Structure 1
Amino acid sequence: MKKTLIYIIGAGRSGTTLFDIVLGNTSDSISLGEINRFFKRDGIPPKRKEDSDVYLFWKKIRQTFERLSNTKSYAEYDSLFQKNEFHSNILKSFLKTNDLNYQKDLNDLYKAIALNVDEKIIIESSKYPARALNLSNYLNKEDIAIKYIYLKKDPVKVVKSFNKKDIEQPSKNFLMANIYYLVVNTICSIVIKVLKRRGHHTFCFKSEDFLKHPETVLKAAEKALNEDFSESQNQILNNRPLYTGFLFDGNRIRLKETLFLQPYKNNTKKNLKYYFTRVFNYIVYR
């Protein structure tokens, strides 16, 4: 059965993991999270017990991948993928000059996933725009159709989130968080336009709009991506728990078995940092 991959791009701390989970609560869909960290983690989902469903699920994928492409150590795979997916190497993706070994390994990884997933729709929130382009450039379209979502969040909240030091992702100071947000969202804006011109289904929205009016955003996503997310809408409207699926990596909310969508709260203090962030990131968030 041909699979559909819905790939979510955006800056870190923007709510990509949450939206991954939401879409995965539609039948025939599965949430897989940040697959791009597969090699960095040696194919082992972090902070999972060895007898857990998530651990055993990824163990099968790891074993399948090793049968398909067991030519390098995981550290070598990780280094190769970094050189072809980090933001600093985005030009390779635009010019389609990525390493041939990378192209093969990328296909082998998704083939291993497809062989172990029963659901038709795979949701991935790896975020990296270069990876998004590479999937469009090199993934076998006869096996997997790719659709894209670009999610961006209020820069003030993202910058504030990067000040936290008690969570898994590395923290950033105020100025670096602002620069990061501007650069990454500029790249994402360009990439999503390129992908749309290539004929891919694409959908762009703001995290705050989703938290305020989830049913409206999900209906817009249905129309843009030509998919049915009504079950996810019903889960949220009826205040039913959302199942977190089989996320490999991502926000720590993945470690919960279920969660409820929390109502939007705008309690941001308006000070000098607030106005600086607003003005500095106006172009990409307006």
Structure 2
Amino acid sequence: MQEGKFLKQYEVITIDPPYATVRSGDELFKVPVEAHLDTWQPLSENYSKDHKGILCNSSRVFTRHTKSIDLDSFEVIQENDTPMTTYFRDKNNVYIYSSMCTFSALEGAAPRTFEIMDIKKGFGTDGQHDYYYAQQLPYRLADARFLNEHYAEADGKIYAAYTRLVPADAATFVIPEPELISNVALDKDHVFFREQVVAEADARTFRFLNGCVAAGRAYYRNCDIDFYAKDEKLAWFIRTIDKSFKKIRSKSIGAFDFKVEDETGYGYDKENRYLQGKKV
């Protein structure tokens, strides 16, 4: 496929919506019937454009942004299927569309010097600023130490989702389960969920219950996102994809533990058992 070239002369071979097969010179092209053939140009395996806008496979996309895009210079820089991420640029901006973000312009990114450093991890740079997907990083990648897939340390500071400042003491910051539970951490004073301090959690005694995190633990539904923990005063149910911890006030906190019954995980103490943090 000759990317970025008009089909100056073409012959329509077949029309089988949503595509038409077109011959131009010695090449065959699969063109969306939605496209205007006289101005259609292939950009990549999945993307193309015409004078009206951008197409992904057979559908028009990014229509809300068409007026702000310079279509003449718009091109695909690189695309990746897993995770789904595509970088674009025109003469004015660098753009990204990903399973991690909506179609966005990278603020401040210089199109002429922009390079993708790792498309699978969402890292790019224009030489002056570094980016994590659509967000400009508040530090340079060369200065960062990535602690896991969620937390990074740079210039003596901790960042969640690589971009949001965590009010943590970097010298004592630890991630108890860095791979299994990537967005829960603590320092000498606080427990953190993402970048937020978990009010009332005691960092000194906080721990995840062994039945949730131990190697060889029993399978239970949502075992990759649902976990129980406790400290000396409270128990906690944590669903890592949600926005907050769920506090459990147990009358027998010392006995609070975790078990699996019929592939369902329960927290329990001497008085009650808990499903997803609620008494049952």
Same fold per superposition (TM over 0.5): no
Q: Give the TM-score, by structure 2 length.
A: 0.24
Larger Rg: 2
If asked which structure has higher relative contact order (CA below 8 Å, sep 6+), I would say 1
Q: Give the TM-score, by structure 1 length.
A: 0.24
Question: Which has a greater percent of strand?
Answer: 2
Question: Which has a greater percent of helix?
Answer: 1
